[in-house]
Amino acid sequence: MPRIRCAYEDCVFLDDHYCTAPQVEITPEQGCLTYKPLAEAEDLLDDWDDEDDLLDDDLLEDDDLWDDDF
């Protein structure tokens, strides 16, 4: 698999200046369309709400979800 050396310094897909994105789209006019700034990803993590977590304590305590007949 080819490795893509990237000039961006703040992309979430960078690992030692190489792109780790599963797919990359590049255009001559706009450059890398796969580029995601690290700050943008951190903002998304900051917006994560514990109430939206699928492994909520209430969900884990719900006896209807667990089948003890194994």
Higher pLDDT, 41 or 21: 21
- The tally of domains found in the chain comes to 1
- The predicted-structure confidence for 23-67, as pLDDT tens digits, reads as follows 999 999 999 999 999 887 766 666 665 445 555 555 555 555 556
- The predicted-structure confidence for 6-16, as pLDDT tens digits, reads as follows 989 999 999 99
- Which pLDDT value is given to residue 39? 82
CA–CA distance, 8 with 13 (Å, rounded to integer): 10
Q: Is residue 47 part of a domain?
A: yes
CA–CA distance, 13 with 28 (Å, rounded to integer): 20
Higher pLDDT, 69 or 17: 17
- Which pLDDT value is given to residue 2? 82
Q: Is 25 helix (H, G, I), strand (E, B) or coil?
A: coil
Q: Is residue 69 part of a domain?
A: no
Q: Is residue 28 part of a domain?
A: yes
